[in-house]
Structure 1
């Protein structure tokens, strides 16, 4: 790693899947894994291509029952470009002798380079250099430049390029018993001497997909059609000192695209009008340069390089092009097939970064949720509830996509999956609406679609809450919290837990903030909303009451993860670490032993501590005070310590949240968790999961740790509030924000000093609030504010 490159030296088949994920190239519309073009999908390589929002639903037989799954579709493979000596075998690093191999991801320009030297025998060496891009200016284009050089010898080289429609979704081993054949009606043809096309459609969602490919070479090109493939071939003559170049330029369209007549015509027309590769490269570099300026992040050292890689992958999944699409935040990016490309709650960790750099993307992602509000209303109604019940896993239309069963690869058994009971996803959506509007100042969205989302999510929570006369409080029963390990009480016949503290506290927050929003609505808009939803004063009175009386359980002087948590058995953590070494997936270990994690005080990831991630200390104390509890610093410290020793960190999000919380509570330990979050994907700490797709929430969360967590930055009430907690290992850094119409507010933290520069072109002053003082900075001004420890 250097400041702007990510490099791999040597070829290692065992590392191929990990490299392919981390070397994925994308532009927010589609992305392609960093597989070598001469390699086909097998146990080593997986050259997947995915376009945002392209899902297909199939039914498979699993454990004697019919199971329906919706997948993000692996599109036809546009990469194939292979080569060989005439009559010889095709050359790949797995079948030929490799003298040197080097891969470089150039983040500044969004390029993937590879250099391989093949030993052809008899003193002959073939040098292959490739440069790949997925175009950031025109989201429908990609290109591959390949340069062949014969070192110290002459001779012919056969080169074959293809569009391959014979692909399936088999990128995740544990899904391979499921039907992954999503493409049908694959047809191919040619439209010009240098251009071939391939057209197909998805089996049930009936999305039309079209690729067109031009092959530009110094030698004549031949075209042939094969089963589910369109093939172009050429024969190069190599001489010492001469490099032969082959450019492959590809266009992709689907029937989900706006402003086209049909995908095939659009793809063929677009690829036929593409300028030379060098011009394509120049506009691509310019687009990436603009993104880096808007997302500027200046962090020194190794942490800075990893953060830049994280930002690179966030922007490849959610770029300004995403603002034109009807898509959500795929938990594993557009980098692989894990989680089937579904949308969970990861926008909770992604939007806070985007809000302050690319608010138009945040708004589009919230539109994805609003478009599926009708489906959430239907889901709640089917469950006997009012309001909106959003799914834990969402895909094309917003129905619940969470599995009924999941495979434990350790035991080989299919076990029930109750993750659909994670109704706290609704609170995450409401939180995202509020955070976006506070950061962007977008009152138009808040007063329209935002208010509708908040209202219906609040209506669900108020209806889900039941009054317990013995406790004298409202309770929310039968849910699963962020921990995910605990989905039922020990030996219970039915799944679900009562009064998950995170669920109840965030529900109270949603109700209180929705009441504030409704009070501040312009009178005509408020009347429209009341008329459309049947909202009346008695319902609002109940919201007010529930927001103050939701039950928060405690045990041994700490916040209980859920009611009854304190009665669970303690786990012998030392014994399990000794026996299994890696116990991140403790639930699978225990199930394979015939036991259940439901019996123990053991969490997969931050649950109660998520409250310290979402809310600043003063706001969290205020929330508990509203609920009738005094959450003093001592109680919170005890709570943090309690769960810190009972969490296995089976999610990449866990280290991030713990690092965020500990930065204020136990600074000496915080950096260990921050490093875990930074290294989560690059070191594949989950043991093979990164090869199935990067963890987008964790990557974006590390960016937000530097942007909001350590500076204590909040956008509240029209102020830019800061309460820095610099870590010794990360005490000097800077970044740029887009805030309330200001393009480029610069913040820099040096040891003991906060510097804020407001651009001269801004619309008005920026009010900055520190714990001990306030400052107003006008456009063109720079403030230098000393910090007190």
Structure 2
């Protein structure tokens, strides 16, 4: 057993060293250590890392999530006990420098956690001021339970052991529970416990939001509804969503028998309802305080009224043990679908499971019952204000192949906001649907015009809304969902309409150059985000971003494919409903063949003119600043801009190779009239790998994928760095604001699809495996067109087992050899080295 993960390094000897990679141990678990392949453990109390641990110990069920904060602590700069409900937003305005800034945030809901305690004649315990003897946190991923054990000594020398178990119920979405066991180790006497609900919370998780108005809630009522139950109701100030939280607190002895205790209403704090309980502790005899909470809102389906709903839910909820049993069963069912079993280093396996765990806590079958999208930072904090970005593109593949019904529900979040996207396009003078870069409640553009630069201490312009490729991502997500599921009904009723309207928008922003006889797009920003304008230009926007142009051609082809696919089914209705004409489809065909792709020096240019920018001195800046995360802010502080340099925040051109296979990309370029040969692809990859700062959490996902076949060792090193990003908080401390959900899903997808060479296109399931040396074997189950397929893969062979069912036979291509498999078939394929 080691006490520091740094003593248990991932062996990087012989790997191609990445820029800025010192070869130091990866510390994948951020100061934690694996207790088992399913358990993450933190020993000791570290105030400086408390925000990170709160995020990584968040518990959720897709409806609600609560950070792993100490129940006795309030938000104070070290602790931040946030609770978030999927899709619950509120809009505020803040007067700043004579103007109003409007912002919509995922709301920090009333805090159900508060459970403070003190020896009867002492101060309330705090881990920051109390004399801690021991402190341990243990997160059980298999069961979805967070256990905290501490021992503290008060000024009188009294030793008390406190053990807490916490869950957010996976089977019943409105329920959460906290069980606290107090044991007096060397004393007997009184212990006072305050159990409560705090409605006085604000959104204060983001330091850069300090100038903004942050109070999203107004407390309506607080009351004690029963001798052991308290209730708080609140309403959001603008969206007028009513939230009710009820909590029941009972006391039992170590044998599980009820213990009568004195209770008194807690007073003195606004927007707080609670009870003070007086316990009698006897040395060595544990006393258990059990708190079960219920949360509901007026947005929830199948309820009459939130306060009534939570009281009913509490009345039906069993005790902590009963809840634990059904909770663990629900998690087991999810793990049966989603666990990806690896034969690799223990910390790699645990880190990947931890990523899967947090993905499933933010998005679960309960999410499918709501009108909610994919929050880029999960339900773990207030990063990005809880908004929905294109990060969902990295999330959908995991659910497409495991729980396609959830993918379908999440795509409907976009479809319900299609009319808002149409309105945005019309207002801007375009046709079709212009989806926002940042989306929240109603689908309007939530990207702020300005951001607060903490380094400069001032507001700076934000041009992120010019990233028109978000519509491309939505079209891609719809098409990939169809390729996996063959869900023609979804395509006909929802998906085709989105693809066609996005195609209309893209053709309305292109401009034709009669000299080159090509179409191009100007005034946009690509995935890179560091480049928003040409050096010295007055107006924002760039010309002919290669990723956007090429994927525009891809979307237009898919729009034509959708029409052909639905012919004889729903196509007539679709043409009539959307007013599609042959003139329009001919334009799609023409543009899809004549989009311009810029090149320079034998590589694809990120955008027109990228090759003329100055080279960036990576070595000098790394020597001075280390990691280049936040290099844009550093340059601004020096009076410069990333716009001046060949410096990328994240994969841009290389995103093409992430989304499309080399074969698809060559075919697409050939259709556009360009020859994309192997040497050009290789040169392009080398060029951009040398010029990326990895300023985005998604960057290493795409680069890892691209390098999986060209350089497996470097791909694995990038994979480890992607695993590490949130778990060790390598992104400048931003993880305390929430996990990077797309990046976490991306690592799971890398193992599931990238290293197995799994593709779903042309009505075929492709496998082209090439495992990294460090990954010895892999086991997974996936859902493809109604079949559950068991996949077992090592470096020698691939085994596929189709479970018995009534689904139609499927076409499977393994390393170029085509096979037709039916339900119940089992095949083994030898792999060429």
TM range (shorter): over 0.9
State the shift of 1:679 in Å.
0.6
Q: 2:727 aligns with which of 682, 699, 702?
A: 682
Is structure 2 residue 323 aligned with structure 1 residue 289? Answer: no
- Which of residues 727, 749, 757 in structure 1 aligns to 2:801? 757
User: What TM-score comes out, normalization by structure 2 length?
Assistant: 0.93
- Provide the residue aligned with 1:137 in structure 2: 171
Summarize deviations over 1:258-278 as a string: whole Å, max 9, x none: 111110111111112211221
Whether the aligned pair in 2 keeps the contact of 1:337 and 1:693 (CA below 8 Å) is yes
> Hey, what's the Cα distance between the residues in 2 that align with 1:668 and 1:39?
45
Residue correspondence of structure 1 range 67-146 to structure 2 within 5 A: 67-146=101-180
What is the aligned partner in structure 1 of residue 664 from structure 2? 619
Tell me, yes or no, if structure 1 residue 223 matches structure 2 residue 257: no
Query: Shift of the alpha carbon at 1:506?
Result: 0.8
The counterpart of 2:782, out of the listed 711, 718, 737, is 737
Counterpart selection for 1:274 from 317, 328, 333: 317
- 1:782 equivalent in alignment to 2:826: yes
Three-state SS of the structure 2 residue aligned to 1:523 is: coil
Given that residues 63 and 414 in structure 1 are in contact (C-alpha distance below 8 angstroms), is that contact kept between their aligned partners in structure 2? Answer: no
Is 1:247 matched with 2:290? yes
CA contact 1:171–1:692 (8 Å) conserved in 2: yes
How far apart are residue 762 of structure 1 and its match? 5.0
Out of 589, 593, 600, which is 2:634 matched to? Answer: 589
Give 1:772 shift: 3.0
Equivalences for 1:294-373 in 2 at 5 Å?
294-300=337-343, 301=345, 302-373=347-418
- Equivalents in 1 of 2:218, 2:157: separation in Å? 46
The answer to whether the 8 A contact 2:90-2:104 is kept is yes
Q: Say yes or no: does 1:772 pair with 2:816.
A: yes
- 1:523 aligned residue (559, 562, 568): 568
Alpha-carbon distance change, 527 to 764 in structure 1, aligned in 2, over 3 angstroms = closer
Cα distance change, pair 579–296 in 1 and its aligned pair in 2 (3 A): closer
Name which of 43, 49, 64 aligns with 2:77: 43
In structure 1, the residue matched to 2:15 is none
Counting matched residue pairs gives 788
Q: Partner of 2:726: helix, strand, or coil?
A: coil
> Among residues 769, 774, 792, which one is paired with 1:748 in the alignment?
792
Q: Quote how far apart the aligned CAs of 1:767 are.
A: 2.6
Residues 758, 766 of structure 1: 8 Å contact kept: no
Are the equivalent residues in 1 in contact too, given 2:339–2:353 (CA < 8 A)?
no
Once the two structures are TM-superposed, the CA of residue 524 in structure 1 deviates from its matched residue by 5.6
Cα shift readout 1:551-610 (whole Å, capped 9, x = no counterpart): 110000000000111111111111111222222222111100001110110000000000
Residue pairs, 1:128-207, within 5 angstroms: 128-207=162-241
* 2:46 aligned residue: 12
In structure 2, the residue matched to 1:641 is 686
Q: What is residue 421 of structure 1 aligned with on the other side?
A: 466
CA RMSD of aligned residues (A): 1.1
Q: Unaligned regions of 5+ residues in structure 2, if any?
A: 1-33, 252-258
Q: Which residue of the partner structure matches residue 208 of structure 1?
A: 242
Aligned partners of 1:11, 1:319: CA distance in 2, in Å? 31
Distance 2:338 2:240 in 1: 37
Instruction: Give the conservation status (yes or no) of the 8 Å contact 1:5–1:105.
Output: yes
Q: CA deviation at 1:64?
A: 4.0
**Who is 1:483 aligned against?**
528
Shift of 1:177: 1.0
Does the CA-based 8 Å contact 1:25-1:133 persist in structure 2? yes
Query: Does the CA contact (< 8 Å) of 1:656 and 1:676 recur in 2?
Result: no
Structure 1, 283-292 or 178-187: larger mean CA deviation: 178-187
Show the counterpart of 2:303.
Answer: 260
CA distance in 1, matches of 2:132, 2:271: 31
Task: Report the alpha carbon displacement of residue 123 of structure 1 after superposing the two structures with TM.
Answer: 3.8
Secondary structure of 2:698 counterpart: helix
1:604 counterpart (626, 649, 662)? 649
CA gap of 1:670–1:269, structure 2 versus 1, over 3 A, is same
* Residue among 685, 698, 704 paired with 1:653: 698
For 2:659 and 2:326, the matched residues in 1 are separated by 39
Distance in 2, matches of 1:679 and 1:762, equals 42
Unaligned runs of 5+ in 1: none
Q: What is the match of residue 503 of structure 1?
A: 548
